[in-house]
Amino acid sequence: METWTENNEADGLPHKRQSDESAPAKKPVVKRNLIQLIETILASYELQEKYSTKLTPFCMITISELIKKKPEYFRMVESTLIRNIHDNKISADDVPYIISIISQLYNLLAMTRYDDIQHSESIVDTCGNILKFLFSVSLREGLVKIDNETDIMLLLLCFDNIIDSCMKLVKQYKPIELLGSGKKPVPSPVVVPEVAKVVEKTGCCGCW
């Protein structure tokens, strides 16, 4: 359908105005949450190749089990990252919340699947690999809006450094086996205060 504008009629210069009906309808963009993204990636070998952290078969089984039994953990990770990443970086005040994500996953693995993990691979290695994968998916799939690839790489490097440092500290704790108990030692849970105050902000690559 074509119409004439009133101004054009007065000037004697008929200009065509296209009807809005001819414009293609825009499809609504459905934003997927962290759990949905992870399930899609785990189901596709090609999508897994996109990430630098290569998950072992046991890591993938563990993630699937956690999604079934503890979906609230993944919702917490997603909301924490969205809330604490600003201007493509995290500040020193945000680091305790990142450490809380790390400690909660370690405690979940230690308390619920410790026997299976001990016979398969190190609980620390499993925890570290899963965490790096979760952070990478959150940033690369747009759950947290980052302006460019360089900032994504720097932020992921910062997260990797934090994770590696925490895992090294955890490895220093050796569980004590009670004499005569005959039971396998269970690693002590990692306790992180809900709110920790950082006195001085010091630089860290990709962080602040």
- pLDDT, tens digit, 9 for 90 and up, residues 35-66: 999 999 888 877 777 776 678 888 888 999 99
> For residue 28, how many other CB atoms are within 10 A of its CB?
5
Specify the higher pLDDT residue, 35 or 3.
35
Whether the per-residue pLDDT at 197 is higher than 50: the answer is: no
Structure confidence by residue, pLDDT tens digits, 142-164: 888 888 899 999 999 999 999 99
Helix, strand, coil share (%) of the chain residues, nearest 5:
55, 5, 40
User: What tokens appear for 132 in the block?
Assistant: 């790096």
